[in-house]
Amino acid sequence: MSDRIKVWLIGNQGMLGREIGEQLAAAGIPVIASDREVDIADPSAIEMFASEHRPEWIVNCAAYTAVDLAETETDIASVINSDGPANLAEFAAKTGAKLIHPSTDYVFDGVKRSPYIETDTPNPQSAYGRTKLDGERRIIDTLPRHFIIRIAWLYGPHGKNFAATMLRLFSERDQVRVVSDQSGTPTYTLTLARNITNLVRSGSEKYGVYHYTDGGETTWYEFARKIYTIARELGIVSKDVEILPITTAEYPTPAKRPAYSVMSRDKISRELGFTITDWQENLRAYLERIHAV
């Protein structure tokens, strides 16, 4: 039997997983990592891969995040977003590990007009949101030692996301139309990864459901405008692009999005010591980072 490893990082090739892996490594925290080669829908695969390492922490960044496709691929989304986390929770319950599991603002219906807090009643309006909520509930039912962290509007340098899409569209088009009647807050992968690394290092036992995003709030339209403004300053975008606000009704999608999904960061800041950085500051840091590459 090998020495107990500190962290099992699942989904280490994804947008958030890669960022967390880099931060754990920088902090000198021992990690085993896996992606698609370990099927978390199969309890025996989990056991085979991780039992000899006996991780103290499991960080689950595996998720089905194709929101619109989930409306027709609900079974697949459910396996990844619900069955997989439930299996990980059962493994953690047997081995004494703690589980960190990112979830989503899509568990809410978006009818509220003040920031959602952790005790607000979920009411998902999409298959994606329902599968993520089911995953949360199955973790809670199985494992007391859980940190479920609901995040929103995630972006970073290692995967597909709104910011990367906007930069591509700004280079291809003279006019871009963006929804202006959905409010929320972006989440930059780097600051989230640093906070999660600090959580692991702290050994906290303040388990539960938490909300985390960057600070402030905005709309997709204003987010796009800020991406464009900073990208022009930095020389990432070199031409004029007209950004037009449109309504959700003018841009129909298979999955319904919450019109308002701002979440309060008070609990996670108070209980876990997470650092909250304003979304505009983080966006500039991200754009400077990718421009420097």
Question: Which positions are annotated as active-site residues?
Answer: 128
| Tokens of residue 228, six digits | 């464009």
**What residues contact 214, with CB distance under 8 A and at least 6 apart?**
185, 186, 187, 188, 191, 276, 277, 278, 279, 282
**What residues contact 217, with CB distance under 8 A and at least 6 apart?**
115, 183, 184, 185, 262, 279
C-alpha gyration radius of the chain: 19
Q: Name the pairing type of β-strands 218-219 and 183-184.
A: antiparallel
Please tell me the chain's helix, strand, coil percentages from 3-state DSSP, rounded to the nearest 5: 45, 20, 40
**Residue 205 CA, distance from chain mean position:** 22
Whole-number Å distance between alpha carbons of 142 and 146? 9
- The 10 Å CB-count burial string (b at 16+, else e) for 12-45 is bbbbbbbbbbbbbeeeebebbbbeeebbbbeeee
| Tokens of residue 188, six digits | 């930059």
